[in-house]
Amino acid sequence: MKLCSKVSYGLCDYYNIAMDIVFIQGLKIDTVIGIYDWEREIRQDIVFDIEMSSDNAAAANTDNIEQTLNYHAVCDRLTEYVRNSEFQLVETLAEEVCQIILEEFGVKWVKLKLNKGEAVTGAAGVGVIIERSS
């Protein structure tokens, strides 16, 4: 049995595997999102924090970018998708982004935090945090 790092992410124990994490923090993308008429007429910045399962061993052994979960490619794909989307709910956008990561990048587990910023007076940020697996 392979062991997880000192930090347990739950799914590592469930799948009985070692799991590395590739993360993207603070990815800011502007989009049309919201339920109110005024929100449908403006673009708002959404900030993503993403953790994705990965097996980094092959990349570490070969020092070859082709063996990695390429976070630059993930950022490019998500930026293109989110900028062209027009969802009403952050829940829907978060779900769609997770599905892209799982399906297009071969990730088995993803944790995503979507922050809509100061959408509520007095709050530094609001949004959702979801975890999905394939």
- Does residue 12 form part of some domain? no
pLDDT in tens, the chain (134 residues): 333 444 445 555 555 556 899 999 999 999 999 999 999 999 999 999 999 999 999 899 999 999 999 999 999 999 999 999 999 999 999 999 999 999 999 999 999 999 999 888 889 999 999 999 99
- Return the bridge partners of 130, or none: 112
CA distances 26 to 116, 120, 134, Å, are: 12, 20, 24
Has 116 been annotated as catalytic? yes
Query: Which CATH number does the domain housing residue 118 bear?
Result: 3.30.1130.10
Catalytic residue among 2, 28, 113, 116: 116
In one-letter notation, the amino acid at residue 106 is G
- Rounded CA separation 99/133 (Å): 9
The total number of structural domains that make up the chain: 1
What's the domain range around 71? Answer: 19-133
H-type helices in the chain, by residue range? 11-15, 57-62, 71-83, 90-104
pTM of the model: 0.85
